[in-house]
Amino acid sequence: KSGIYNFSGNYKFDGNGNVQSDPYGVPSLRIDSKVIDVLTAVNLEKGKQYKLDVQLSIAPFMWANLVEPSATLYWAEATSRDYHKEALDAAKKGDVIIFCGGISPRLEGEEMKLETTGFAHGDRTDLELPKVQEDLLKELLKTGKPIVYVNFSGSAIALNWENENLPAIVQAFYPGEAAGTALTRLLFGDFNPSGRLPITFYKSVNDLPDFQNYVMEGRTYRYFKGEALFAFGYGLSYTNFKYKILQTPASIATNGDSKVSVEVTNTGNRDGDEIVQLYISNKEATVPVPIRTLAGFKSVFLKAGETKKVEFILTPQNFSIIDKDYNRIVQSGTFQISVGGQQPDIKAIEVQKVVQAEMKVNGSAFAIKE
């Protein structure tokens, strides 16, 4: 049957019947030697024979002792189905819309043989959600149904419109085969989430230095001075927590350990886990230092209404800097200690989600051997 057929997999197909596998398993589909996308559409004529020359090689240092050499070729006839219309029709029948979107590990990665909008060799060239998804979300919003947006990605997405217009966002990363079960249990309240972001979600790629610039200034929670969309360490729960009675020593020696404690209370009506985070800011460093550094965190389970005391032990390493001679040392000075369920900001401090105290470090410079 003549028609357009879709090919996808770890091989190259030039449209003339020539197929060559990719030994490293990186999607690299081509027509006339030009990479066009992860999925390649090829026009095949009924009755015409196509010679398929398949070359398979296994990189010996990677896979030789792990798998038997094999090759599989998949193709499917292109469809004329209107998936956009099908999605809208399905949404109108439901009470709540769960929209699973984002990007794919087939798009983002290291040194991938892929060139497409928003990506270059697996690297991100912008932070936007693919336009086709955001356009569909805007149409779904017009239905008046509440929308839960589930974002699949291994990196930050600038979800500005989603944050402003949708009642719920779940950052799922790439969760694996049991994703559907896990999301169902989460959304139906079978368990209380306690995850915290291990990366910063920026509002725009314009907030960042050029990605070819590997200097850390202006990026990550330690050096980014702008307003993040979702900060490193951010996460929600089905209950609420408040902090009080942060206890720190007034001063310590440059070579001394110190104990920091705080009381955290579950002020909501559900049991849950809180991720207690401790950040240190060096206020008097003689060299450039991060805005703040995560010095420790602990997961604490609290029943509704319960209060627990959480303790951290800080060592000289936590207060150290790299001096102009590239030595790791602890200098005397003033340090701000922030403890809470997120990074410190004015609002978080006002509502007791974060508490702060200052600590003095006294004495001569102490060198840390590494």
pLDDT of 55 over the 70 cut:
no
CATH number for the segment(s) 83-191 = 3.40.50.1700
Please give the pLDDT value at position 189.
95
Q: For residues 249 and 358, what is the distance between their CA atoms, to the nearest angstrom?
A: 9
**Interval 137-193: pLDDT, tens:** 999 999 999 999 999 999 999 999 999 999 999 999 999 899 999 999 999 999 999
Higher local confidence (pLDDT), 56 or 102: 102
- At 268, which amino acid appears? G
Beta bridge partners of 360: 251, 334
Average pLDDT of the segment spanning 274-283: 98
Please compute the mean of the pLDDT values over residues 112-124 and round it to a whole number: 73
Range name among 8-17, 114-123, 220-229, 232-241 with the lowest pLDDT average: 8-17
Question: Which CATH fold topology does 241-367 show?
Answer: Immunoglobulin-like (2.60.40)
Indicate the range of 9-13, 270-274, 283-287 predicted with least confidence: 9-13
Q: Give the torsion sign (CA, 169, 171, 172, 174).
A: positive
- The domains of the chain are located at 3-77, 83-191, 241-367
pLDDT of residue 126: 86
Q: 183 near 202, Cβ under 8 Å?
A: no
- Cα distance between residue 75 and residue 13, in whole Å: 11
Q: Output the six-digit token pair for 95.
A: 């009470």
Query: What does pLDDT average to over the chain?
Result: 86
Are 330 and 257 in contact by the 8 Å Cβ rule? The answer is no
Strands 366-367 and 328-330: antiparallel
321-322: strand order across its sheet = 321-322, 328-330, 366-367
Token look-up 């398949």 returns 54
Asked if the domains at 83-191 and 241-367 fall in one CATH topology, the answer is no
Distance of CA 198 to the CA centre of its chain: 6
Mean pLDDT of the 235-239 span: 98
**pLDDT at residue 66, as a whole number:** 59
Q: What percent of the chain has pLDDT over 90?
A: 66
Torsion of CA 298, 301, 302, 304, to 10 degrees: 140
* Nearest Cα to Cα of residue 123 among 154, 158, 86, 84: 154
| Distance (Å, whole) CA 329 – CA 365 | 6
Higher per-residue pLDDT: 209 or 311: 311
pLDDT at residue 111 tops 80: no
Structure tokens at 157: 């997405």
pLDDT band per the 50, 70, 90 thresholds, residue 15: low
pLDDT (tens digit per residue) in 285-317 = 999 999 999 999 999 999 999 999 999 999 999
CA–CA gap between residue 242 and residue 171 (Å, rounded): 24
